Structure 1
Amino acid sequence: MGTLGYYSTLARLAPGGLARGVARRVQGVARQALYKRRERLDEPRLLEAFGVSQAEELAERVLAARSGGAWCEVDQRASVLEALAALPGAEERTLARARAALRGQYDVFGTTMCFGEDQPVDWSRDPVSGYRYPVLPVEQLRLERPGVDPKYPWVLGRLDCLVALGQGYWVERDTAGRSTFARAFVTRTLDFLQANPVGQGVHWTCGMEVALRAANLAQALVMFSDAPEVRRPEFLVPVLESLAEHTAWVEAHLEDKGAVPNNHLVSNHVGLLVVGLLFPELPEAPRQVARAVEGLRAQMAAQVHVEGTSFEGSVPYHRLSVELFTLAWVVARGMGVDLGARYATRLRRMYQASRAWCSEQGLAPQLGDNDSGRVFPWQERDSRDQGYLAPLGAALFEEASLAEGPFPDEAAWLLGLPGLECFRALKPAAPARSVSFPAGGFHVLRGAGAVVTVSAGAQGQHGVGGHSHNDKLSFELHLHGRPVIVDPGTGTYTREPAERNAFRSTAMHNTLEVDGVEQAPLEPGRLFALPEAARARVQVFQPGAELDRLTVRHDGYRALSSPVGVERTFLLDKRERALGVTDALVGVGLHAVVGRIHLPNREARLRTATPEELTRALRVPGAPREFEALAVELGPAEAPEAVVLFAAGLAPRLDASRYSPGYGQVVPAQVVVFGVRLSPPAWLRWVVVFK
């Protein structure tokens, strides 16, 4: 698809989106022009804004006697500490993260970087390639380079480490230890500000990163507001000036210029809101807060479906969106700002959607992109973990339907003791049930220890497909909380474009590939676009006590010279503890059809099915009458988890593959491959029998 075809598709999928995007670009140019002409906030103007005449008076005016309702205010500390004390290991986890930040130790997508205590941080280096982005004006900076990934330095530049130091400062009882955390906060903050002047270097190339950094710096500064180390004018003046510069930069570079704005724009508004509410005396804060409130309300309506799913077309990005909208909600509510009933309703439904597809261990499927993004990295979690969201949502909204699992560290920090008491008072939620999210395109079958999550819906971002994959009719299977059949994940973004597209391809998903063609064209130069072509949709969704039936289809192969329609039926048989899958192909011509079942590891083998397995498989509705001699056993040889039996003629084999459990992480794995040459109409059947 060439450029003209690409934009023609966008115009068709998002009517008016291109025109609005062009209009927003014009507005953006105007905003940036005004930004360049604006008078920078210097010390005299800062003092005037805060109503003091000398810098020495600033600390008393800004930091003393703070009594707002935001979670990070010092008067919330006692409540938070009581909640943490009730959670086994929470204080120890907090201090471990804070001490790592003290040492200058960071985990960046599985790569550990350690700079040492009181040592400068190499903020602009990509640790994988070793490339260091030059500190140049952003207009002169070449962001995307072969083999280099800006997301790695961006992780450092969000300054999550400052919040970690603030949390250590709150939890630490020893006076000297608390002082050490405060000094580290001052050192790390000034080190970053001096190494990354406004508008220069990799840390100013993405408005989302600037906004989240501003929010973290503002929250951390409030957490340290009673520390003598931060009350000195030589620290407080440049930090407050920097917060003003951050929000001015974000406002001038709002990420609203695409045909369909996404989570980046939400992040922009979150940063403006948090900084403006915590430091309302900053010159532009009242107007920026008003803009952020309006923007967040609008983006909640635009980016979250009524059913509660994110419009991103990605389950992992749903987690990021939940945390973004939650931070805004918690800070706004604490400061007396109302984001509206619709905002609250959809946020609550976002938590319910996340609970619906999580397995018993809290892991969510990796359908769509997974960049391991978080807003609350306050407890070490797997990139696929969403299990902590349900109890957080339960306490946040006093919602019994979410009350399951342990109260998480994130909730203790955000909601304190009242949140814990609220959660403990709720009646435990009933077990999650099978559910279909037609707008989001994800459908969940549950029972017999299994969670099956199927992708069948429109591409994300209203058809643009920025974080969608060619995964229509693909699925993940979790058994007793463990991922057994998986989506291979994301791997990387811009570091290796070919790998990016390989992980997005049809062949890297648990679906059918016809004649070696993609479900939707992958444009090599557009790594964050996958315009609608497959038209995936649900035909039948029938959950039941003993049997769940889901029939889905897509038209991605209707464009072949000999068109083919693909329909897949999932039958979760809870009596037999098995999953039956039937692929029906309708069309004309002779076609090579290949199916794949991706695994998270190399723990699979071919073997003969046992009589008991054959008997159970045959009892699943729609099962084939005759099976291949060899089945595929999944899981460790000493404790297998399932066995897959294929209809005669499908001839399964095991090939080497790759699995990415989180961004930037790729491990060896296996894939089950099967297929035939056929002339439609035809049916391919196989059964997964749970052990």
Structure 2
Amino acid sequence: MRRAFRMIRVLGVRWALFRLRYALKTRCGFFEKKLPMRTWSDLTEKEIFDPETFSGTLEKDYAEWKRKNARSFLFRAADFRDWRPLLERWGASAATEEIENLKVGRVLYFENGYATCGFPPRWRENAVSGESTPAGTHWSGLSDFGFGDIKFIWEPSRFGFVFPLIRVYARTRDDGCARIFWTLFEDWCRENPPETGVNWKCGQEISLRLMAWSFAFYAFLESPETTPERLALFARAVFESARRVRANVDYALSQKNNHGVSECVGLICAGTLFPEFRGSEERLSCGVRNLERQIRELVYPDGGFSQHSLNYHRVMMQDLTFALRIAEVNGVELPEILRERLLLAAAYARDFVFGNDGDTPCWGANDGAHVFRLSECGYRDFRPHLQCVGVGFSRERFFPPGPWDEEALWFFGKAALDAVGEKRAAARDRFSATVAGTHVLRRGGNAVFFRCGCFAHRPGDDDLLHVDIWRDGECVVGDTGSFSYNSKTPFIAEHNVVSADDEPQMERLSRFLKAPIRGTLLRADARGFSGEHDGYRRLRVPVRHRRDVEVEEASVSIRDELSSSAEHVYETHWVFPKFRVERSEVCDGLEFFLLNGEKTAGRLRIRADGAEFLGFSVHKGDEKSGRGFVSPHYGERLPAQVLSVRFRAAAAHIRTDFVFPA
């Protein structure tokens, strides 16, 4: 009961009443009555179409009518010929490999590895655990957590494979790509009748699927594989998907995160591109109205996003870019704040591109979402979408020309790339986002990320005062990542922080909710950062923790001051995603070599004044505890060193120095 009251205090009485009402509606069968299970043939022309727009029959007339009256999209298939020199220069080997695997029943999961799912995939099966969901159950009667990690069921149904298919099609005009799409689309509809089963459960999943379908529709519209019968089924599927999202969008909006944003964009997609459907105008209006409200609240004036995650930050940006662009090409006016906040969000994310390969700190929830996979670049490369926003909306590049330009080509065309030329906007050496609670400093070969601030929205990880250190474009110490939201495989998420008495910074209230604590930024300047948090004020004998970070051209020094009126066990944690440490035997105190492969890349020294040294441990791939792993991709678990050093004291002054060759 205490925990329930704490949740209400964090999320508000209005949220609690909404969730209670939602639970009662679900239990009483409200959604089964409002959105009943049925067959695709039950959806008739009378139900789907506005007769003032289209009054013919689906099977006989719709295909010809739609080809003549299709709304504008980001591209036309006729553009592909002009694009070919660029596309050939950038290549599509990864896309081709994915298609070849798809044809033999191997589906790419979270842009990291393949799982054997069959061709067509077994849409309702968890490819990791082997568990299957019921075929004939209404989506509202299924649990999110009853079949292993549900994301492994949903991933193929996002239709992410559309993007390698259209990328190869644009280069080759091979109708085999269209055939694969339509074969999988027809099978998906056969195995997932309206409102039936797990793949109708989440409005965000449906919205992302709608966006992928729209790319396929416009890319393959003139292919002989796009038959009248297939377009009739396509119309039914898009109509029912939009209807399902609209009917339950309030649930997504109540979460105040990427779910609401994606579902609003799904409504804008369907409402803009398919105005012939009944209710399209209202769905478009609902999407625009609520998207403005969400973006105004969730994207901060400093460019940060409410979910405290760079991966979800990119999802939000891709959603916004898609909505703005399809509205623009169809003359639909969207509120200017959407463009303004997108540009702020892009500038914010650009400053986190620390890696030579476009990588960023693995900060926050990292669920593998990548809405538009429109280049050869990998999941962790943020350059494609940031370049797209820069070219399309800022009229300048964020990065030099390269294969990461391809996403901008799909969204804005060759003329937009030609117009910007070599004009570039440089990343800032120092940036402090005080509302988002993130701070970046570049100096010499060092790039440092410091996490400190209050929570305007519900917190994510126990990572206040966390530090990421990158040297010459490579991560020295970083975050472990997420691995899975619901897995029996052990994985301990760790951050570069100091813990007290083995307690996390925040009290966990539910699977995805923690009680917020307060972080106070004391300093952010050209030399470093200072901050403190009150997370350990809840202990029986409270602890105060302050951290100072000093960044020089060839070193980074961290000073942790912990104070209390009684003794505690303090443990400092350092996660090495790619580097490793090796104890130096020729020095006094605690000193390690920093190794990058077999090369010595620097030294790590840890000292504590006024504290009893209790020892240190290096975990790597510990299957029993789940410590010593990192997860750069969702569902991926790689052994990596995690160094922990323990001290006992009431007041301790811990100094940690990372020293690199000048």
TM-score w.r.t. the length of structure 1 is 0.86
Contact 1:207 1:255 in 2 (8 A): no
State how far apart, in whole Å, the 2-side matches of 1:655 and 1:158 are: 36
Query: Where does residue 483 of structure 1 map in the other structure?
Result: 475
State how far apart, in whole Å, the 2-side matches of 1:515 and 1:420 are: 55
AA partner of residue 569 (structure 2): A
Query: Where does residue 564 of structure 2 map in the other structure?
Result: 587
State how far apart, in whole Å, the 2-side matches of 1:403 and 1:509 are: 30
2:73 to 54, 70, 73: 70
Query: Where does residue 271 of structure 1 map in the other structure?
Result: 266
AA partner of residue 521 (structure 2): V
Q: Determine if the alignment matches structure 1 residue 89 to structure 2 residue 90.
A: yes
3-state SS in 1 of match to 2:538: coil
State how far apart, in whole Å, the 1-side matches of 2:496 and 2:127 are: 33
State how far apart, in whole Å, the 2-side matches of 1:499 and 1:339 are: 45
Query: Where does residue 177 of structure 2 map in the other structure?
Result: 181
3-state SS in 2 of match to 1:113: strand
Q: What is the CA distance between 1:143 and its match in structure 2?
A: 3.5
Query: Where does residue 236 of structure 1 map in the other structure?
Result: 231
AA partner of residue 375 (structure 1): V
Q: Name the Cα RMSD after superposition.
A: 2.8
State how far apart, in whole Å, the 2-side matches of 1:54 and 1:6 are: 53
2:484 to 492, 511, 516: 492
3-state SS in 2 of match to 1:220: helix
After superposition, what is the alpha-carbon deviation per residue over 1:164-211, rounded to whole angstroms, capped at 9, x for unaligned? 3233332214xxxx2222222221110100011111122111111111
Query: Where does residue 664 of structure 1 map in the other structure?
Result: 635
Query: Where does residue 240 of structure 2 map in the other structure?
Result: 245
Q: Which shows bigger deviation, 238-247 or 52-61? A: 52-61
1:520 to 474, 496, 506: 506
Query: Where does residue 601 of structure 2 map in the other structure?
Result: 641
Q: What is the CA distance between 1:522 and its match in structure 2?
A: 2.2
After superposition, what is the alpha-carbon deviation per residue over 1:257-283, rounded to whole angstroms, capped at 9, x for unaligned? 675421111111111111222221112
1:387–1:219 CA distance, 2 compared to 1 (3 A): closer
Q: What is the CA distance between 1:93 and its match in structure 2?
A: 4.6
2:430 to 421, 429, 434: 434
State how far apart, in whole Å, the 2-side matches of 1:515 and 1:206 are: 39
Q: What is the CA distance between 1:120 and its match in structure 2?
A: 2.8
Q: Determine if the alignment matches structure 1 residue 158 to structure 2 residue 158.
A: yes
1:229–1:346 CA distance, 2 compared to 1 (3 A): same
2:290 to 267, 288, 295: 295
Query: Where does residue 106 of structure 2 map in the other structure?
Result: 105
Contact 1:255 1:268 in 2 (8 A): no
State how far apart, in whole Å, the 2-side matches of 1:592 and 1:212 are: 47
State how far apart, in whole Å, the 2-side matches of 1:78 and 1:65 are: 23
3-state SS in 2 of match to 1:661: coil
Contact 2:321 2:389 in 1 (8 A): no
After superposition, what is the alpha-carbon deviation per residue over 1:427-468, rounded to whole angstroms, capped at 9, x for unaligned? x33353111111111111211211111221234xx4422xx1
Q: What is the CA distance between 1:589 and its match in structure 2?
A: 1.1
Q: Determine if the alignment matches structure 1 residue 61 to structure 2 residue 53.
A: no
After superposition, what is the alpha-carbon deviation per residue over 1:212-267, rounded to whole angstroms, capped at 9, x for unaligned? 112222331122111122132x2221210111011101111215367542111111
1:196–1:360 CA distance, 2 compared to 1 (3 A): same
Q: Which shows bigger deviation, 88-97 or 549-558? A: 88-97
State how far apart, in whole Å, the 2-side matches of 1:59 and 1:224 are: 13
1:7–1:595 CA distance, 2 compared to 1 (3 A): same
State how far apart, in whole Å, the 2-side matches of 1:35 and 1:578 are: 60
1:46–1:23 CA distance, 2 compared to 1 (3 A): closer
State how far apart, in whole Å, the 2-side matches of 1:605 and 1:37 are: 60
Query: Where does residue 686 of structure 1 map in the other structure?
Result: 656
Query: Where does residue 409 of structure 1 map in the other structure?
Result: 406
Query: Where does residue 550 of structure 1 map in the other structure?
Result: 529
Q: Determine if the alignment matches structure 1 residue 332 to structure 2 residue 327.
A: yes
Q: What is the CA distance between 1:8 and its match in structure 2?
A: 3.4
Contact 2:8 2:16 in 1 (8 A): no
Percent identical among aligned pairs is 23
Query: Where does residue 655 of structure 1 map in the other structure?
Result: 619
AA partner of residue 672 (structure 1): L
1:299–1:90 CA distance, 2 compared to 1 (3 A): farther
3-state SS in 2 of match to 1:408: helix
After superposition, what is the alpha-carbon deviation per residue over 1:61-118, rounded to whole angstroms, capped at 9, x for unaligned? 102374x442143344345445434xx33344544444444444321144413456xx
State how far apart, in whole Å, the 2-side matches of 1:98 and 1:185 are: 11
- Superposed counterparts of 1:529-540, under 5 Å: 529-532=513-516, 534-540=517-523
Q: Determine if the alignment matches structure 1 residue 676 to structure 2 residue 647.
A: yes
AA partner of residue 126 (structure 1): N
Contact 2:578 2:596 in 1 (8 A): no
State how far apart, in whole Å, the 1-side matches of 2:16 and 2:85 are: 51
AA partner of residue 647 (structure 1): R
2:496 to 498, 503, 510: 510
Query: Where does residue 618 of structure 1 map in the other structure?
Result: none
AA partner of residue 585 (structure 1): L
3-state SS in 1 of match to 2:513: coil
Q: What is the CA distance between 1:637 and its match in structure 2?
A: 5.6
Contact 2:252 2:263 in 1 (8 A): no
Query: Where does residue 418 of structure 1 map in the other structure?
Result: 415
Contact 1:24 1:257 in 2 (8 A): no
Query: Where does residue 6 of structure 2 map in the other structure?
Result: 6
State how far apart, in whole Å, the 2-side matches of 1:89 and 1:402 are: 18
Q: What is the CA distance between 1:329 and its match in structure 2?
A: 1.6
Q: What is the CA distance between 1:521 and its match in structure 2?
A: 1.2
- Superposed counterparts of 1:446-485, under 5 Å: 446-459=442-455, 462-465=456-459, 468-485=460-477
State how far apart, in whole Å, the 1-side matches of 2:638 and 2:209 are: 31
1:199–1:317 CA distance, 2 compared to 1 (3 A): same
State how far apart, in whole Å, the 2-side matches of 1:405 and 1:27 are: 53
1:400–1:676 CA distance, 2 compared to 1 (3 A): same
Query: Where does residue 617 of structure 1 map in the other structure?
Result: none
AA partner of residue 655 (structure 1): H
Q: What is the CA distance between 1:356 and its match in structure 2?
A: 0.8
Q: Determine if the alignment matches structure 1 residue 374 to structure 2 residue 370.
A: yes
State how far apart, in whole Å, the 2-side matches of 1:103 and 1:76 are: 31
Query: Where does residue 134 of structure 1 map in the other structure?
Result: 134
1:349–1:463 CA distance, 2 compared to 1 (3 A): closer
1:256–1:140 CA distance, 2 compared to 1 (3 A): closer
Query: Where does residue 613 of structure 1 map in the other structure?
Result: none
Q: What is the CA distance between 1:55 and its match in structure 2?
A: 3.1
Q: What is the CA distance between 1:389 and its match in structure 2?
A: 3.3
